[in-house]
Chains A and B, each alone.
Chain A
Amino acid sequence: QLQLQESGPGLVKASETLSLTCTVSGGSISSNSYYWGWIRQPPGKGLEWIGSIYYSGSTYYNPSLKSRVSISVDTSKNHFSLKLSSVTAADTAVYYCARLSSAVGLSLDVWGQGTTVTVAS
């Protein structure tokens, strides 16, 4: 059964770069049927799409975050990563990684449990 697990620092200082990794287990990140994405949810608020990546390295970003976001993939380690630069308190959120599957119209069908990141001023 496919599982995704987010990892990274839970506390980041304002103006620095947030870095998270999502490790995929129980399946290959290199399948041509899937993309891999990052989504976040500020405390008490709704979901926000951050971006997604294909195993070949093609990326697609939320235009609102594009200038600060970078998503990369490491097929040898079966994981993909998120970097968000110049963070502020507004970037405090639960960050989820998830799989986008062509079997369900590239919707998010498998999610990680989420990791809380707090930006300290």
Chain B
Amino acid sequence: QSALTQPASVSGSPGQSITISCTGTSSDVGGYNFVSWYQQYPGKAPKLMIFDVSNRPSGVSNRFSGSKSGNTASLTISGLQAEDEADYYCSSFTSSSSWVFGGGTKLTVL
């Protein structure tokens, strides 16, 4: 299975909003509402930020939001903060009854 497509990097200034896209196919992103987003700091395990396209786990800031249109899912971070600088990965359930990750996006807070 092929990895989902994410931009390699995005950047934004504190207080701004940024959006990270995640493009798949009708066999994964487009076919299921099982899209998740993870945040990862260097040398650390990933942390779940969004599940089922747009739901936040308990304890995750409401500055993080998710959406989906067709085969593309998106993660939006509003009110950007320095602590948001990290790598972000999307993930989707697939028609093979497995999961697939995106290639990851490095977020830089300017």
Contacts and interface: CB of A to CB of B under 8 A. Distances in A.
Partners in one complex: yes
Interface of A: 37, 39, 46-49, 51-52, 60-64, 96, 98, 104-109, 111-114
Top 6 nearest A-B pairs by Cβ distance? A111-B45, A105-B52, A46-B104, A107-B36, A107-B51, A104-B51
A49 B45 contact: no
For chain B, give the interface size range: 20 to 34
* A interface SS class: strand
Interface of B: 1, 3, 34, 36, 38, 40, 45-48, 51-52, 55, 57, 89, 91, 93, 96-104
A46 B97 contact: no
Question: Which of A37, A39, A46 has the largest number of chain B CB atoms within 10 A?
Answer: A46
Contacts of B47: 111
